[in-house]
Structures are given as structure tokens and as C-alpha cells.
Chains A and B, each alone.
Chain A
Amino acid sequence: MSPPGSAGAEAPLIEVSDFEVQFRARRKLARAVDGVSLNWRRGEILGVVGESGCGKSTLARAMLGLQPTAAGTLALDGEPVEGKARLPELRRKVQMIFQDPYQTLNPRQRVRTIVTEPLLVQRVPAGEHEGRVNTALGEVGIDPARFADRYPHQLSGGQRQRVAIAAALVIEPDGLICDEPVSMLDTSVRAQILNVLVELQRSRNLALIFITHDLSLAWSLCDRIAVMYLGRVVEEGTAVDVIERPQHPYTQALVTAIPVPEAGGGGGERELLEGELPDATAIPTGCRFHPRCPRRFAPCDSVDPGLLPVGAEGQTAACLLHDPEHGSDA
């Protein structure tokens, strides 16, 4: 086992404030991301966790300008990104990989072509292409001599994800957003890919965002974790604080639901969250979590809590139980 990377104290690579992303669905408005503020520091591994539909992937797409925002601001290295002027710079500095590399790699292109393409887009002089492609492939553990002329279908799932990482890496970004990068891979291959990513974080001081529904994975890898529920961050802090000492009832419920790889598991007596994530077109009033919350009390259906300092240093949770005006401190 190796300790995860640690973040420096410089200006955040990306800072989003009050981000909102909305979709229109059958005349209803879905508030997929509903007021998210987040700092992603250089060299940091940030986990974004939550159930499917919580808005974590939409948030990531919006951070890359792949999804129009309804409100909010984004700063890259401390400077605001507005309109399209700085999008090329944003996408040179931040890249993204997805869950299913089979769907993101062009099946009719060879590995070399796939990894070269970002260099063409970024207008890197042709003379540098071969060297940079070979370096990127080498860094993800793909031998260019053996694999560069293959097509994606001639690769295993793990190798395809490595190629996707190489294509993201070849333009030497400062940050890489990984959307469920290993959730389709088998246990043994999963560990290989995670090792590649953590090694890159270390050797290049690459900042990583891990979007995952796997809380134990996020706990083991990330420096910090943001827990999302229905378009909002409801708890944030260091990975150890958030997962081992969660302060928001939703995080507590998520942690309780993790299957434990020990005989008898977490025990059958634990309290499980009932119901399902509501639709983003019908966000409950007050605290959005209150209809499912085992600890709700009087003000929860009318007061929408913001993130408040709780528990450990730097840990925040959006729960009225921690608001001196309403709840007693939990």
C-alpha cells in the first residue's frame, strides 16, 4: 500500500462558484447541478461521490465547458473563464476520461492515431508528435512498439483505459477528471489502472478528480471528498474525515450501506436509507434530503441549509443539525 498524494497550498487549478446546470425535460426544469462551489487544487486528488443522478458527471462536464451553465463562475488558475475565449486553454490544462473506454476510443483508428489527435487539435508541431505519443504511452505502461498500431478491439479493457489515459496525457494537462474510470473493470485490472493514475499524480503532480459511486475507493485514494446529493455538495472534507467520521446524515447513510469484505459484513442490524434519489425536476423544499432523512426535525422541510463547518478542521456539511440557530450540535 502506498499513501495517496498530498496537495500543495497554491491557488486552485479550478475554482467553481455557485455553479448551476439545468436541463429542460418535458416542460419541466431539471436542476442537475444546483449551486455547487468547489476548489480543485493543483496536485490534489479530489473525490466526487454520490448516487447516480446526483449531478456529479454533469458537474464535471460543466467544469470543462462541455455543458452550458445557467449560473456561476469558473476560475482557472485564479483567472475567470468566461465565454469561449479561454476554452482552448481550459481543455489543454484539464482533460477527462470516462467509464467505458470502448465507447470513447474511435474503433477505426489505431492507438497511435488516437493518441496523436489531441496534439493536432492543440496545434503541436508535427515534429514533436512521435516522441510525445511514445512518452505518453510509456507512462501508462503501453509498449508503443507492440501496441501503437493496434485497433481498440485488439486491446483488453484495461489496455483501452490505459490508451484513453495516454490520449488525455499527451498534451500534458495539469488536471485529469476521471469519471468512474475503473467501475467496468475487473478487480485485478482495476488495481493496475489505479496504480497508473496514482503514479501519474505523483510523477507529474497531476491533479485528479475521481468521480465515483464507490466510497471505499474514494476513501482509499483521495485527499479530499465532496459528497453530492441532488445537485448539491452536502458534505466536504478530507477523505478520512468524511468517510470515517461523516457528519451529514446522507453521508452517514452512504457509509453504512457499503458492503464490508469481512465475514458477516457490516451486520444486518444497520439502518438503511429508504426510498430513492428524487427526480432533479422535483427537488424537495427546505433541505433536499429531508424526505429520506432519518434525523429530520421541524425546520428541515422549509430551511435550505448551506455548508457549515462541522467535525474536523476544514470539514463542512449542509445540515441543520449543525446549525446553532436550529439544531443542537450533533
Chain B
Amino acid sequence: MSALIEVSDLRVTYGAQPIVDGVDLTIERGEALGLAGESGCGKTTTALALMKLLPASLKQSGEIVLHPPKSDEPINVHKRTEAGMRMIRWRHISLIFQGAMNSLDPVQRVDAQIAEAIRLHAMGGGSEAVQARIDELLATVGLTSALGHRYPHELSGGQRQRVMIALALACSPSLVIADEPTTALDVVMQAQVLRLLERLREELGLALILISHDLGVLAETCDRIAIMYAGRIVESGPVGAVFDDPQHPYTRRLLDSLPVIGGERGVAPPILGQPPDPGDPPGGCAFHPRCPYAKERCSAEQPDLRQLAPRHQSACHFAPWSEWPTVETSVVGIDTAVAGEEGP
């Protein structure tokens, strides 16, 4: 395997507030990376920054180097101008937005929308070639050509999501970033879309960044997972290692809060409080105010992401954790459950 995209020290700020606070990522060709975390942790911002799609109010810095499989020349994405990015977006990296199935143009037929994407970003070719490509794309995502003549409102949610995936594939990118692609879908449709993404990875050799707050979805689809908290990656590693042997208290608590059918029923003790306000981040480790294992050092010193095992990293001062001490579970009482939850 060789690296497809290398991101180092990616930072995104809103005024003085860090939204993404020094993210390093490498994605291999054909690899699926899951990016997990709660709202506001910076996962969507990270994805948008990779395509330089952030609004002007957000400033980004850091290096993004793309190694397109089609050529030997690395592309310094971070140095590209807006005009230069047009050659990258869709042709090398494409994005399936959150709630994208509702962002199709309601007054244009589906095939016309796909044609537009092909003409704008690819070489074009005659209308017959474009039509052939549309049919091919629709078939790839499991839709018939007849569906292409329909308007978005004539399609179901699952079909619209498939159209969005076809659009993302229109210009044969080597990396697809999918931001919560199944969040609005029911469990059956979700499973169908995830299976489609898996199949496309195999058939087209696509690399995938899958962003989701649903660890179950990531476990099923990804090779590797990175957990973000307050703009930083706090743990990353192969899916098996992270799920079987989490090395950051935040990961551990997230996993604990997921019901696993056949296991113990009931509500898990909650993670107290709320994710920090980016305008007023806590000192030291950003998770320390909510961490049941926090010690003095955690409020003073920000931990770096450290290598624990091949490819398994954690940003916890006390990693590696070989066993997790039992913590007080008095938190079930609702009074204490909210003690830390502050309004903005």
C-alpha cells in the first residue's frame, strides 16, 4: 500500500477559536478510514478542509499532499488556489454531504444533474458518451437508467442517496469523503448503502473517509478509525484494536454507552457534561473535565497523540491502559448527571 493523501498539522480557526487543532492523517490507497466524534468535534470541518471548501470565516493551515494513483506527481492541495481546486474536487476527491439526499436540485431530472457534474469536471465528450457514463454510474449504484429520467421528489430517500453516490463517482475520484451518509436513513436502507460503499471500494479501489457519530456503522465499514474530540484526534488505530482494546477514556466511554444486543440491558451511565465550547477550551487535556480517570496532570498538560502499538495511537497521559479501574457509577442519579452540563 502507498499513501494516497497525507495531512499534517491541519488547523482550522474561527477568529482565535481553534475548530480543528492540529490533525495528522494518512490514508492509503483503497483504505477506509472512519472519523468519529460528537457534533462540534471538528470531523466535518476536517473533511471540508481537505477539499478547501470551508467558508471564508474559517482559516485553515497545514499541509495536505495528495498522491494521485493516476500520476507520479504529488499535488500540494494546501497550496492550490480556488481555480486550481476545481481540478481536484470531484476528479480526485469527492464529497457526499450530510443530508445530501435533500440537496439535489428539485427542478432538474436526475440524469441532467449527473451530466452537469460530468461536463463541469471531466473532459466531457459527446452527449452519447455522457449518456453512456450516466447509465454506467446509475448501474454502479444499483439504479436503472429509467430512474435517471425522474425528478428527485419521485425517488425514495434511499434512491436519492444512491444518486448522490453516483454523482460523487462521476469523475472517477480516488478518494470519497462521506459525511454521515446514512444518518437520515432507516436501518435497512442504511445497511444497503453501507454495503454499496463497501462494494464500490472493492470494485473501484476507492479510498473512503467515512464520518459518523455511529461507531457501529464505522466498525462495519472501515479498516481504521480515528476518534476526534474538541478538534483533535484522541485515538486512532485499526478498527479491531480500537474496539477491543480502547486506549483513551473517551473512546472507552463512547463504546460503553452503546447497547450490544445479547449483552447487558439497561442504560449506561452517561458521560457527564458536554463537549467543550471552542471559545473557552479547558486547559490541558480537553476531555479532563468529563474524564472519570482524570488526575492533576490532565488539567495542566495537553497530551500528545502517542504511538502505543503499530498503528495504534492515543492522546492520553496514562495510556497504555492495561485495565480500567472501576469508577463511581453514582452518576446514574439525574442530579449529578447534569451537574456538568453547562449552557452555552
Give chain A's interface residues, CB within 8 Å of chain B.
1-4, 51-52, 138-143, 147, 150, 154-156, 158-159, 162, 186-192, 194-196, 198-199, 213-217, 219-221, 239-240, 243-244, 253-266, 268, 272-274, 276-277
Contact = CB atoms under 8 A, between A and B. Distances in A.
Contacts of B334: 139-141, 195-196, 199
Contacts of B158: 276
A3 B268 CA distance: 10
Contacts of B272: 192
Interface in B214-271: 214-217, 219-221, 238-240, 243-244, 253-255, 257-262, 264-271
| Size bracket, chain B contacts | 35 or more
Given A2-B332, A141-B338, A213-B187, 18 more contacts: A51-B188, A141-B337, A147-B343, A150-B343, A186-B213, A187-B271, A192-B337, A195-B334, A198-B267, A216-B261, A254-B188, A257-B191, A259-B191, A260-B216, A262-B219, A263-B239, A273-B191, A276-B188
A219 B259 contact: yes
Closest 5 CB pairs of A and B: A265-B220, A259-B216, A141-B338, A191-B270, A263-B240
A214 B220 CA distance: 17
Contacts of A258: 187, 216, 261
B190 interface: yes
B240 A257 contact: no
B38 to A, nearest CB: 4
Contact of B260 (A52, A159, A256, A262): A262
B335 interface: yes
B299 interface: no
Nearest to B187: A257
A191 B257 contact: yes
A254 B266 contact: no
Contact of B266 (A1, A147, A215): A1
Contact of A217 (B244, B259, B270, B275): B259
Contacts, number: 183
A216 B156 CA distance: 25
B55 interface: no
Contacts of A272: 188, 191-192, 195
Contacts of B262: 244
Nearest to B331: A195
Given A261-B258, A263-B243, A191 B269 contact: yes
Contacts of A2: 266-267, 332
A243 B39 CA distance: 29
A188 B262 CA distance: 22
Nearest to A258: B187
A140 B264 CA distance: 25
Nearest to A189: B274
B220 A220 contact: no
Contacts of B189: 51, 276
A182 to B, nearest CB: 11
A324 B88 CA distance: 63
B142 to A, nearest CB: 10
B198 interface: yes
B196 to A, nearest CB: 10
Contacts of B220: 259-260, 264-266
